[in-house]
């Protein structure tokens, strides 16, 4: 194993072909039975408290196939991968690898079966060399000594064979994100990957790097490996995959060969066909003056790449501007730029005509920008402080919260009691630690705090994510009422139904840019789905 990267198909083909007939095969697979199946998922179900993340999901991928899993966020892609990787155990259903039924208890089991995953967030040791990372935690021959030369040779050879240029002696921190991803792939190949799962691999890549990746993927499948390609971007799915399985709300909707389909069709399958009645019923009310205005705003993401590119938007008083898009296309950066949590690299943001200082959260708060962040527990609240203290997280600087020079706990409690009453927060009392509350009640505390400051602008990012039906309804109603009271509301959501239901106008984000802004009244699900997936 240490001598060269093995080519996959050869040694595994025989047993797989022998045990081909398995119940639950679709018509598509029947056409492919000539080719051995590498992975087969049969009616797999995984439940979490309150949600069914995977509901009878089935799909199969043949050897030498690039099989895409396409779906919106929350469609169950990640859960499915974690099941394949042995990170979760299914509640029901079967998994076959190379025709044999397997049950994984840990990622180690999955790797022993030849299934490897390249995660979106790469897992490499930055201070070590490429070769060292490749062998880290992996010693098939149980040899104690690590001979870098040998590994470097194998890595160099493999990187040439799959057109993934990377210097085996380079240290990880010296490499670009694209190169790091190649290291992850080489690592999997070195360890004998037969099935390689790529989780949203192009997120960190430039278009050129992405093209290069696709051609490397082709080289790998030409040797009999299987690549499972997770994505929500239609163009790249069409470019690289042989077949696509569409996941929607935890179910596998269908599997189609990419040869006979187009982006339109896939987008329809991905977002579903139902027409949102609420959106149609909404009457275009008289929107007020422009309150928040972004002109040519750009910003970097956490990884240093440009995540927001030349964004120009405006939000009017009394309207909800919905920001649609698949997660990771710049929406979080957009919200953070407006609220001062992220520096801009270009452009300007103005509030009621006057320019907002960039990267200054306190100024944004003082000027009346309220923010319900996506990361509720990590950013929106201080988990080990009480409800009362969290409610004054932004108002503690005001005189109203003090008696003399010290903070008045009496006033804080009184303030909390009002909020608990008004926002129907279910809690033992104002002194309860906020981390003890349910997600819905935490969100109510957040809304209570943000709205009690009488803001001019409310930015709400994924405000209903993870909430149960009742809390979701409550939050949506609150957002609508807030807009009606004259606040300019910007709502970021990956849930297209939510965006359609609540928004007056919808701006669609793809790859850090505004692809288009449409009136919700004449918005078309399919059209927005296409824009979200970058096929304009």
Partner 1 sequence: MTGPLRIERRLDTPKWLKVAVPLASLLLAAILAGILLASTGHNPISTYHQMYSAAVTAPGGLTSTFVYATPMLFTGLCAAFAFRMRTWNIGGEGQLYMGAVGAAAVGLCLGDWPRPLLIIAMILGGALSGTVWAAIPALLRAYLRTNEILTSLMLNYVAGFFMYYLIYDSTSYWRDLSSPGASVFPTGKTLGPNATWPGINIGSFTLPMGFVLGIGLAVGLLVLIQKTRYGFEMRVMGDSPNAANYSGIRTKRKIVSVMAISGGIAGIAGSSQIGDFGHVLDPRGLEQAQYGYTGIVVAALALYNPLAVVLVSLLIGGLTNAGFALEGPSFPTGLVGTMEGIILFTVLGGEILARYRIGIRRRAVPAASAAQLTTGGVAS
Q: Which residues bind partner 1 (CB under 8 A)?
A: 43, 45, 56, 89-94, 103, 105, 339, 341, 361-362, 364-366, 371, 373, 375, 378-385, 389, 392-394, 396-397, 402, 405-407, 433, 436
For residue 340, the minimal CB distance to partner 1 (Å) is 8
Of 260 and 428, which has the nearer Cβ to partner 1? 428
- Here the tokens at position 47 are 């439940």
Of 35 and 388, which has the nearer Cβ to partner 1? 388
Q: How many helices (H) and strands (E) does the chain have?
A: 19, 22
For residue 94, the minimal CB distance to partner 1 (Å) is 6
Of 123 and 150, which has the nearer Cβ to partner 1? 123
Of 295 and 341, which has the nearer Cβ to partner 1? 341
Q: Which of 37, 517, 69 is nearest to 314 (CA)?
A: 517
Give DSSP secondary structure letters for 1-13. Answer: --SSPPPSHHHHH
Query: What is the distance between the alpha carbons of residues 187 and 182, in angstroms, rounded to a whole number?
Result: 8
For residue 85, the minimal CB distance to partner 1 (Å) is 14
Across the beta sheet with 354-355, what order do the strands follow? Answer: 306-316, 290-300, 346-351, 354-355
For residue 415, the minimal CB distance to partner 1 (Å) is 14
Of 151 and 335, which has the nearer Cβ to partner 1? 335
For residue 281, the minimal CB distance to partner 1 (Å) is 36
Cα distances (angstroms) measured from residue 375 to each of 20, 393, 424, 425, 460: 46, 16, 22, 20, 11
Which residues are paired to 351 by β-bridges? 292, 354
Of 43 and 112, which has the nearer Cβ to partner 1? 43
For residue 503, the minimal CB distance to partner 1 (Å) is 25
Of 173 and 396, which has the nearer Cβ to partner 1? 396
For residue 286, the minimal CB distance to partner 1 (Å) is 33
Of 187 and 376, which has the nearer Cβ to partner 1? 376
Burial degree of 173 (CB within 10 A; 0-12, 13-18, 19+): exposed
Query: What is the distance between the alpha carbons of residues 449 and 370, in angstroms, rounded to a whole number?
Result: 9
Helices (H), 33-101: 77-84
Cα distances (angstroms) measured from residue 360 to each of 100, 337, 365, 369: 58, 9, 9, 12
Angle between helices 525-532 and 263-271 in degrees, nearest 10: 110
Residue length, the chain?
A: 536
For residue 383, the minimal CB distance to partner 1 (Å) is 7
Query: What is the distance between the alpha carbons of residues 373 and 339, in angstroms, rounded to a whole number?
Result: 10
């Amino acid at each position: 194993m240490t001598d060269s990267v093995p080519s996959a198909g050869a040694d595994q083909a025989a047993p797989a072909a022998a045990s081909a007939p398995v119940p639950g095969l679709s018509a598509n697979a029947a056409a492919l039975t000539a080719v051995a199946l590498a992975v087969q998922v049969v009616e797999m179900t995984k439940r979490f408290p309150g949600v069914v993340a995977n509901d009878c999901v089935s799909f199969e991928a043949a050897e030498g196939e690039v099989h895409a899993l396409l779906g919106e966020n929350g469609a169950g892609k990640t859960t499915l991968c974690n099941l394949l990787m042995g990170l979760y155990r299914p509640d029901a259903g079967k998994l076959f690898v190379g025709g044999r039924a397997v049950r994984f208890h840990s990622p180690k089991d999955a790797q022993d079966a030849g299934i490897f995953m390249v995660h979106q967030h790469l897992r490499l040791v930055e201070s070590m060399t490429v070769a060292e990372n490749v062998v880290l935690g992996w010693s098939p021959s149980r040899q104690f000594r690590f001979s870098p030369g040998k590994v470097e040779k194998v890595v160099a050879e493999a990187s040439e064979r799959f057109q993934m240029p990377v210097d085996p002696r380079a240290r990880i921190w010296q490499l670009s994100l694209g190169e790091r991803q190649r290291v992850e792939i080489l690592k999997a190949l070195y360890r004998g990957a037969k099935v390689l799962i790529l989780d949203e691999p192009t997120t960190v890549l430039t278009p050129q790097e992405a093209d290069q990746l696709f051609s490397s993927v082709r080289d790998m499948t030409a040797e009999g490996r299987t690549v499972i390609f997770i994505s929500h971007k239609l163009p790249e799915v069409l470019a690289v995959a042989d077949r696509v399985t569409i996941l929607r709300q935890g179910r596998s909707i269908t599997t189609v060969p990419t040869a006979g389909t187009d982006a339109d069709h896939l987008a329809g399958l991905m977002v579903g066909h139902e027409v949102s009645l609420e959106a149609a019923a909404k009457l275009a009310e008289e929107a007020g003056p422009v309150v928040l205005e972004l002109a040519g705003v750009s910003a970097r993401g956490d990884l240093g790449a440009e995540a927001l590119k030349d964004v120009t938007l405006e939000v009017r008083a009394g309207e909800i501007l919905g920001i649609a898009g698949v997660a990771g296309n710049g929406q979080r950066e957009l919200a953070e730029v407006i609220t001062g949590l992220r520096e801009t690299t270009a452009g300007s943001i103005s509030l009621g005509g006057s320019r907002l200082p960039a990267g200054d959260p306190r100024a944004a708060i003082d000027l009346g920008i309220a923010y319900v962040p996506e990361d509720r527990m990590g950013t929106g609240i201080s988990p080990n402080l009480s409800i009362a203290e969290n409610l004054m997280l932004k108002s503690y600087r005001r005189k109203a919260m003090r008696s003399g020079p010290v903070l008045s706990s009496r006033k804080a409690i009184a303030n909390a009691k009002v909020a608990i009453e008004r926002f129907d927060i279910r809690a033992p009392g104002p002194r309860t630690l906020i981390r003890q509350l349910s997600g819905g009640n935490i969100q109510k505390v957040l809304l209570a705090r943000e709205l009690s400051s009488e803001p001019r602008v409310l930015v709400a990012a994924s405000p209903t994510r993870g909430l149960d039906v009742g809390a979701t309804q409550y939050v949506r109603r609150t957002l609508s009422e807030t807009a009606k009271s004259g606040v300019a509301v910007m709502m970021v959501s990956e849930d297209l139904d939510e965006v359609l239901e609540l928004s007056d106008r919808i701006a669609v984000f793809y790859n850090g840019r505004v692809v288009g802004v449409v009136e919700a009244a004449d918005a078309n699900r399919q059209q927005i789905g296409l824009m979200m997936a970058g096929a304009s």
